[in-house]
Amino acid sequence: MGVASPGVGVVTFEVGVASPVPSPSSDPYGGSTEENSEDEEGEPIPPLPDFFEDKKFFLHGDFPEGEGRQLRRFVVAFGGSLAASLDASVTHVVTSQDPDPALQQV
C-alpha cells in the first residue's frame, strides 16, 4: 500500500488476483477498430473532395513539430501537389513565419 497526496491516486496490484474487466461503455479503448461500424456495413466510404486540384503548394520555412507533416498530408489528400522548390509552377506558398521579402507576388 502507498501514501498519496491529495488528488493523486494509488493503484496496487496483488499477484494472482484478477482485476475486473471494464465495461465497454467505461473503457476508452473498448470501441471497435473496424473501418466501418455495423450501421455502415456495405456502404462505401465517400471520396475526399478535390479542393486543391490543379494547385501546387510550396511549404516555405520551418513549421512547429508535426504541423509541416500535417500540411503535406492535407494538400495531397485534397488533390493538390507539393513543390520541392519555389518555381513558376507553384500557385500557393504556405509559411508559418513572417513573409520573406524574397517571396514576391508575381
Q: Where are the domains of the chain?
A: 56-97
Q: What pLDDT, on a 0 to 100 scale, did the predictor assign at position 15?
A: 47
Residues of the chain with pLDDT under 70: 1-41, 103-106
d(C-alpha 81, C-alpha 79), whole Å: 7
Q: Which residue, 80, 81, 78, is CA-closest to 49?
A: 78
Q: What pLDDT, on a 0 to 100 scale, did the predictor assign at position 26?
A: 64
Q: Residue 82: which residues within 8 A CB-CB, separation 6 or more?
A: 56, 57, 58, 59, 72, 75, 76
d(C-alpha 102, C-alpha 48), whole Å: 35
Q: What pLDDT, on a 0 to 100 scale, did the predictor assign at position 74?
A: 94
94 with 86: CB under 8 angstroms?
no
- Name the architecture of domain 56-97: 3-Layer(aba) Sandwich (3.40)
